[in-house]
Structure 1
Amino acid sequence: MNAENAAFSGLGPAEVAGAGDLVDCARCRTAESAGLRPHHRLSRLDSMILEAVATGLSSVRIADRLHLSRQAVDYHVKGMQRRFNAVNRVELVSKACVTGVLDVGMWPPKVPCCFVLGQRVT
């Protein structure tokens, strides 16, 4: 995570070193054997947006931080709501937590790398 995105976590630049990296956990190392369903896999951008939604940021604040339009953020949120069969942001975050897509053992919540498309688990 760079200093400009540090505001997502409320950390200063000195505390950001290594933050924002994908979480590598035991769940990630066993993801293939667990048979993850494809609709639970997110793009890197979707994972960043989901993490921001989980911290309570509005679409405007997320768009500003990620250099996107508000409409683009809303488009990605709606797409995730469809994949998780959620009617609103609260239900989206709740279902993401229940299915393990959001690691709630830390603040801010992070998406483990096994749920991000194109990421390899080491």
Structure 2
Amino acid sequence: MEATEGCGPVPGNAQDAAVVWRNRALRLMDHVPLPIAVVEFGGRTLIVNRAMAAEFGLLPGQFRDRKILEFFTLRDSDTLQALAEAVRLHRRSQYPARVSWQPAHGGERYGVMTVDLVADTPEQTPNLLLSLRSVEAAGEEPPPGPRVEVSPVEARILAAAARGATTAQIAREIGLTADGVNYHLARLSRRWRVPNRTALVARAYATGVLAAGTWPPEPT
């Protein structure tokens, strides 16, 4: 069988054909204007398209193997429980989750991340197909909630910083890269308009993110 242009037949065995079709799918995904990502169930990023990477001023390859929650704050805590239950029961439904993130330019943004569970067989642990929609882009109001709200990961980072842990120590404790820790600290600094880590910790106590009167520091 000879190869043809476009989406026609491909030469070689089934493995060769699978690689060709995968590359075609990746090229197609890169031309979709909707931000899209594919991550493992544990959160490790496998693929993002250009639209998703552009939200953070990065290249798609810079997302590889990083945790998706290094970039987004999940504002619906029930979503993770729903996903775990869906995997246990072999369900394959869509799950919307409210998220916020700090884009490369501008202030904090809000949106809805639609999560699809995808796998070749029901028995496999699925990957997550994520598609992002910004609510401000549609002229909607940002989701309700206090401006001091932080994600569980951010709260743990702040507690570790309050103990005097270094970036490398925080990264090992939380399970992020050093770049991931610095990303969260920089995002919090911009959100709270403070100049350094000391001011971040002070703001975390002042707003009740960290529990007062406890040592070692703990999130509330």
Q: TM-score, normalised by structure 2?
A: 0.33
- Counterpart residue number, 1:65: 173
> Structure 2 CA distance, aligned partners of 1:70 and 1:47?
16
CA distance in 2, matches of 1:105, 1:37: 26
**Equivalent position to 2:159, from 47, 51, 76:** 51
CA RMSD of aligned residues (A): 1.6
Q: Which has the higher contact order (CA 8 A, sep 6+)?
A: 1
Q: What's the CA shift string for 1:15-53, capped at 9, x where partnerless?
A: xxxxxxxxxxxxxxxxxxxxx963211111111111111
Equivalent positions of 1:1-122 (< 5 A) are: 38-112=146-220
Q: Distance in 1 between matches of 2:180 and 2:214?
A: 27
Structure 1 unaligned spans of 5+: 1-35, 113-122
CA–CA distance in 2 between the matches of 1:78 and 1:49? 12
Aligned residues: 77
* Cα offset, 1:61, TM superposition: 0.6
Cα shift at 1:104 = 2.2
Identical-pair percentage: 36
Q: Which amino acid aligns with 1:45?
A: V
For 2:218 and 2:175, how far apart are their aligned partners in 1?
20
Which of 1 and 2 has greater Rg?
2
Q: Which amino acid aligns with 1:82?
A: R
